[in-house]
């Protein structure tokens, strides 16, 4: 059962609980009114015992305690039905999927440090560097400090540092992000038009947007002047997207990553997300096998299917020109040296068994993979040996 289906199955219990709460509050309000009425009815010359007897009878007729007990039992019964579903989906012990792996602690620390830099947590990264006695990646730190200083002020609706950064890197940004400068001016122009009025927006356009006049988007911006302070009712309501400044900051960060050769997505976040995606399959697999009898192939979503280089899953070494990545007919990939070792172990012919399935291909059946080192996905160019 998927998590969204599990969430939907809880809806009847949630609805019942809301109804129960509403009814309980209504009864409590009624009790409060009865008590207040009784207090007002009690006077020095009146028989207070009679009044109290009457209010007691009314409160007993409301049967608040019975109502609360009945509602509790109904909600508890609905919730108890989900116990089995929770046990099936939420594994109580995930340690059985653990494998003893010899990690390179230096590499792991550097990945975490890079992650902290990406998040702008420079003081935390400095503490890790000092405590783990890691060398400080000064160049990387300075790069991320610079882009965070730009991105943070953009989120505060100040575009001047971003414009200066774009101007300094215009040549390299022109091909991949040709409209970045226009988007900065457009976002600020829209805010001025909506908050300060037509005259201020027109003045801003004359001072900063003349050089951008050839852009098709400029026609919409100029027409939007007719809808000053009421863009939500104009043909351009998309100009007022609530997260426009955050989206602009994200695009600036992506442009920075593209410029510096950094991945757009955080490698540490991707690794954790992919591990979480694969964990249910691994846990189910461990119920079927003992120890390390077999490897299991886990199908991940498209968002996890990207590669900038290949690491052989058998010898854990990165591919190179001398030892390229090879794809077997079954679709599994190994380094060329690994294939040679497996083939040489078989003295009869050049066939070998795939480490991940039952297929026995020959060396001649394997195809070389060509990876694009400047991108995050594997190129489709595959050539015959």
pLDDT, residue 91, reads: 66
Residues 351/333, Cβ–Cβ less than 8 Å: no
278 or 384: whose pLDDT is higher?
Answer: 278
User: Average pLDDT of the chain?
Assistant: 82
- Residue 140 reports pLDDT greater than 90: yes
User: Are 175 and 248 in a shared domain?
Assistant: yes
Please tell me whether the overall predicted TM-score, pTM, comes out greater than 0.75 for this model. Answer: no
Please give the structure tokens belonging to residue 200: 């201020």
Residue ending a domain, among 260, 294, 318, is 260
Specify if 309 maps to a domain. Answer: yes
Confidence category of residue 235, pLDDT binned at 50, 70, 90: very high
* Rg over CA atoms, the chain: 33
User: Are 249 and 310 in a shared domain?
Assistant: no
Confidence category of residue 348, pLDDT binned at 50, 70, 90: low
User: Are 236 and 319 in a shared domain?
Assistant: no
Residue ending a domain, among 231, 260, 289, is 260
Confidence category of residue 24, pLDDT binned at 50, 70, 90: confident
Residue ending a domain, among 35, 70, 89, is 89
User: Are 79 and 8 in a shared domain?
Assistant: yes
95 or 47: whose pLDDT is higher?
Answer: 95
Neighbours of 361 (CB within 10 A): 18
Specify if 146 maps to a domain. Answer: no
User: Are 313 and 250 in a shared domain?
Assistant: no
Sheet holding 325-327, edge to edge: 333-335, 325-327, 367-369, 382-384
220 or 15: whose pLDDT is higher?
Answer: 220
Please give the structure tokens belonging to residue 352: 């070998």
**DSSP-H helix ranges across the chain:** 3-9, 11-41, 48-62, 64-80, 83-89, 105-118, 122-132, 138-155, 160-168, 170-173, 180-195, 198-208, 217-223, 244-260, 267-286, 336-344
User: Are 316 and 246 in a shared domain?
Assistant: no
Residue 28 CA, chain-centre distance (Å), reads 44
113-117, 148-152, 314-318: the lowest-pLDDT one: 314-318
Specify if 244 maps to a domain. Answer: yes
Specify if 293 maps to a domain. Answer: no
The sign one gets for the Cα dihedral 101, 103, 109, 111 is negative
Residues 154/252, Cβ–Cβ less than 8 Å: yes
Percent of the chain with pLDDT over 90: 34
- Residue 188 reports pLDDT greater than 90: yes
User: Are 175 and 253 in a shared domain?
Assistant: yes
| CATH (domain of 374) | 3.30.40.10
Q: For the chain, how many structural domains are there in total?
A: 3
Query: Could you report how far apart the first and last alpha carbons of the chain are, in Å?
Result: 45
The sign one gets for the Cα dihedral 84, 89, 95, 100 is positive
Distance from C-alpha of 190 to C-alpha of 188, rounded to nearest angstrom:
5
Specify if 226 maps to a domain. Answer: yes
73 or 370: whose pLDDT is higher?
Answer: 73
Q: Which residues pair with 325 in a beta bridge?
A: 335
Q: Which domain holds residue 36?
A: 3-89
User: Are 238 and 311 in a shared domain?
Assistant: no
User: Are 312 and 251 in a shared domain?
Assistant: no
SS3 268: helix
- Residue 289 reports pLDDT greater than 70: no
Q: Which residue has the tokens 């199908």?
A: 299
Specify if 128 maps to a domain. Answer: no
Specify if 283 maps to a domain. Answer: no
Specify if 334 maps to a domain. Answer: yes
Confidence category of residue 294, pLDDT binned at 50, 70, 90: low
């Amino acid at each position: 059962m998927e998590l969204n289906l599990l969430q939907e199955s809880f809806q009847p219990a949630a609805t019942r609980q809301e109804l129960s709460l509403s009814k309980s509050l209504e009864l409590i309000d009624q009790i409060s009114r009865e008590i207040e009425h009784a207090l007002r009815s009690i006077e020095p010359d009146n028989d207070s015992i009679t009044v109290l007897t009457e209010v007691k009878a009314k409160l007993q007729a409301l049967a608040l305690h019975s109502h609360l007990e009945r509602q509790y039992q109904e909600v508890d019964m609905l919730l108890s039905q989900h116990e089995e579903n929770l046990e099936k989906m939420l594994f109580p012990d995930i340690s059985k999927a653990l494998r003893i792996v010899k990690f390179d602690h230096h590499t792991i620390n550097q990945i975490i440090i890079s992650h902290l830099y990406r998040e702008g947590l420079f003081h935390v990264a400095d503490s890790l560097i000092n405590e783990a006695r890691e060398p400080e990646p000064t160049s990387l730190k300075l790069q991320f400090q610079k882009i965070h200083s730009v991105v943070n002020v953009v989120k505060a609706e100040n575009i001047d540092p971003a414009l200066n950064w774009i101007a300094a890197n215009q040549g390299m940004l022109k091909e991949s992000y040709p409209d970045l400068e226009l988007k900065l001016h457009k976002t600020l122009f829209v805010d001025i038009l909506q908050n300060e009025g037509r005259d201020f927006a027109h003045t801003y356009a004359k001072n900063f947007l003349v050089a951008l006049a050839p852009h098709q988007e400029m026609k919409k911006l100029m027409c939007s002047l007719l809808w000053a302070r009421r863009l939500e009712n104009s043909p351009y309501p998309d100009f007022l997207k609530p997260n426009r400044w955050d989206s602009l900051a994200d695009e600036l960060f992506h442009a920075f990553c593209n410029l510096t050769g950094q991945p757009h997505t955080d490698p540490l976040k991707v690794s954790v997300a992919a591990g979480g995606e694969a964990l249910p399959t691994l846990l189910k697999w461990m119920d079927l096998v003992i120890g390390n009898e077999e490897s299991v192939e886990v199908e991940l979503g498209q968002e996890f299917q990207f590669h900038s280089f290949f690491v052989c899953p058998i010898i854990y070494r990165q591919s190179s020109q001398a030892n390229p990545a090879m794809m077997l007919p079954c679709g599994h990939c190994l380094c060329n040296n690994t294939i040679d070792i497996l083939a040489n172990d078989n003295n009869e012919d050049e066939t070998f068994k795939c480490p991940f399935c039952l297929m026995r291909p020959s060396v001649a059946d394997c195809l070389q993979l060509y990876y694009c080192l400047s991108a995050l996905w594997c190129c489709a160019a595959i050539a015959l040996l």
